[in-house]
Amino acid sequence: MVSSANPLASLAGVDVLRAGGNAMDAAIAAMAVLGVVESLNLGLGGDCFALYAPGGGSEIIAYNGSGRAPAAAQADWYRSRGFAEIPAAGPHGVTVPGAVEAWDRLAADHGTCGLDELLRPAIHYADEGYPVHDVIASWWPADVEKLRADPEAARILLWDGQPPAAGTIHRQPDLAQTLRRIGRERSAGFYTGPVADSIVRHLRAKGGLHTLEDFAGHKGEYVTPISLDYRGYRVHECPPNGQGIAALIMLGILRDFDLSAFDPRGADRFHLAIEAGRLAIRDRDRLVGDPETAGDWRKLLEPVYLSSQRAKIDLACAAPPVPPASLPMGRDTCHVAVVDRDCNAVSLIASVFYNFGSGLVAPGTGVVLQNRGCGFVLTPHHPNEIGPRKRPLHTIIPALVSHAGRISHSLGVVGGHYQAWGHTQVVTNLVDYGYDVQEAIDAPRVFHNGANVELEPGLAPEVRTELTRRQHRVVDVSETSMGRLGGGQLIAIDWEKGTLAGAADRRLDGCALGY
């Protein structure tokens, strides 16, 4: 089974499985297709993280495919030029993209197919075209001005200066050529040679600090996953520089509350989630960054510390304000969940951060460049302060859930800051309330965005009234710039029946497909 945010990607993954490929092969093929058909969300110019459970066992393999800042990226360089933050648009937010290296490494180490074979569906859609799906078409207009500012981005991603409408056939032949080169030369075809040369020249022409050496030297890495027990289920996340630790903190705070005693769509349940989430995001922003330079974030999962945070929650009233989340509010990500015939399970996530990332496209390559670097801060001595070859704090997080020593779920929820909240809400939907996989993904969501509590449609009016009475500042999602709270994919393994159950979020264009 494959679940993704677009039916063309899900179908590509299923085709790989039916042809004999394994879960890692299918996940990479599906993600590469998403990089074409949802290029505002992800692509060759973005980053990725992966969790992989061979045979569905609880020994989890994690890969950090996030890129680094240029070697010349000294914080004082930005401060001396009057930067108060790293800009979201333009060259300074561009870190070296990590996705291509990660796909290459994961396919070589854990797949059964060559990268050239896995990229064929993406090449087909880039060359022959794909129909722009409804949700993606509805987001595209918000970034017209950003795309117009870069002639190459405007040439490829706008038609006569306007975004393509839903149902329009969109082709990206330059991107197809880059994908072919990667298929032939593997990651070297991206990080060295003409593609890297075009990217670096474009960035430097815009004032960036990037060099060919920054690209040629890029490597992702295998990392040790982090996990936490939640009522007999173990939730596995990638460690920092991702924010998976925030999801574990939230679950660790909530596990001593009897959530099953509360209405799953009631104010009590959401009040507790809001309060736990505010504490978790405060700690994320305070201590999480590149693990090579950040502080001791491991203490955040210690039982004594979690108990101390739990004691700060008053069921009757919101706590005083905590510092707002410092990370910019990029929300554009894609996740793929896959389980194959041997119960190998993959949770793979990728992103260019904001819609169309930095708004820059390297000439002749079709590569939309991410803006993950705007996740850095310029506060001196902060763990997430920008620095040479550092990786920024990331919002994107894959997850796997195990029970009794075997994987029970492959899970991902997209949506920037919301992702840690999404993991928490979906897991509690499954474990505390017994929702099936589609119910768990589709249920109305609540999110504290640093200032306000966002409520999705579908909750009773009394929920808003009661949360307001408890001193929360509540707004409807339709009143925010987001227009939705994330998306998500989920596959459950029923080991007794020998079956899979899949779900894809109604908030997106995708579907779960299996056979």
Q: What is the pLDDT of residues 141-152, one digit of tens each?
A: 999 999 999 999
| Amino acid code (one letter) for 175 | L
pLDDT at site 332 = 67
In which band, very low, low, confident or very high, does the pLDDT at 450 lie, cut at 50, 70 and 90?
A: confident
In which band, very low, low, confident or very high, does the pLDDT at 345 lie, cut at 50, 70 and 90?
A: very high
pLDDT at site 288 = 85
Most confident of 279-283, 325-329, 481-485: 279-283
Q: Which two tokens stand for residue 360?
A: 């820059």
For the chain, domain boundaries = 2-45+87-218+355-375, 223-328+397-513
Whether residue 331 is predicted with pLDDT greater than 80 in this model: the reply is no
Q: Which two tokens stand for residue 504?
A: 């894809």
pLDDT at site 325 = 56
In which band, very low, low, confident or very high, does the pLDDT at 477 lie, cut at 50, 70 and 90?
A: confident
DSSP structure string for 324-382: PP-S----EEEEEEEE-TT--EEEEEEEEESTTTTSEEETTTTEEEP-GGGG-B-STT-
Q: b/e string for 112-139 if b means 16 or more Cβ within 10 A? A: ebebebbbbbbbbbbbebbebbebbbeb
Task: Name residue, tokens 């928490």.
Answer: 424
145: Cβ–Cβ under 8 A, 6 or more apart, which residues?
A: none
Active site residue ranges: 333
pLDDT at site 481 = 39
CATH topology of domain 223-328+397-513: Glutamine Phosphoribosylpyrophosphate, subunit 1, domain 1 (3.60.20)
Task: Count CB atoms within 10 A of the CB of residue 141.
Answer: 11
pLDDT at site 328 = 53
Whether residue 184 is predicted with pLDDT greater than 90 in this model: the reply is yes
47: Cβ–Cβ under 8 A, 6 or more apart, which residues?
A: 65, 66, 67, 95, 97, 98, 99, 102, 350, 351, 370, 372, 394, 396
Task: Name residue, tokens 């390297």.
Answer: 362
Task: Name residue, tokens 């075209």.
Answer: 129
Q: Which of 440, 422, 441 is nearest to 432 (CA)?
A: 440
pLDDT at site 483 = 47
In which band, very low, low, confident or very high, does the pLDDT at 297 lie, cut at 50, 70 and 90?
A: confident
Distance CA(270)–CA(259), nearest Å, equals: 10
Region 360-385 average pLDDT: 95
Whether residue 158 is predicted with pLDDT greater than 80 in this model: the reply is yes
Better-scored residue on pLDDT, 30 or 330:
30
In which band, very low, low, confident or very high, does the pLDDT at 480 lie, cut at 50, 70 and 90?
A: very low
pLDDT at site 63 = 98
Distance CA(289)–CA(373), nearest Å, equals: 12
Region 202-224 average pLDDT: 98
pLDDT at site 438 = 97
Q: Which two tokens stand for residue 93?
A: 């937010």
Region 4-15 average pLDDT: 97
pTM listed for this prediction: 0.95
The vertex-432 CA angle with 427 and 433, nearest 5°, equals: 100
Q: What is the pLDDT of residues 415-448, one digit of tens each?
A: 888 999 999 999 999 999 999 999 999 999 999 9
Instruction: Count Cβ atoms within 10 A of the Cβ of residue 456 and give its class: 0-12 exposed, 13-18 middle, 19 or more buried.
Output: middle
Region 25-47 average pLDDT: 96
Region 103-128 average pLDDT: 98
N- to C-terminal Cα separation, the chain: 7
In which band, very low, low, confident or very high, does the pLDDT at 324 lie, cut at 50, 70 and 90?
A: low
Whether residue 118 is predicted with pLDDT greater than 50 in this model: the reply is yes
Whether residue 201 is predicted with pLDDT greater than 60 in this model: the reply is yes
**Which helix H or strand E contains 398, and what residues bound it?**
strand 398-403
Strands 398-403 and 367-369: unpaired
In which band, very low, low, confident or very high, does the pLDDT at 292 lie, cut at 50, 70 and 90?
A: confident
Region 351-360 average pLDDT: 95
Whether residue 96 is predicted with pLDDT greater than 70 in this model: the reply is yes
Whether residue 196 is predicted with pLDDT greater than 50 in this model: the reply is yes
pLDDT at site 346 = 98
pLDDT more than 70, % of the chain: 96
pLDDT at site 305 = 95
Residue pair 324/112 in contact (Cβ under 8 Å)? The answer is no
Whether residue 359 is predicted with pLDDT greater than 70 in this model: the reply is yes
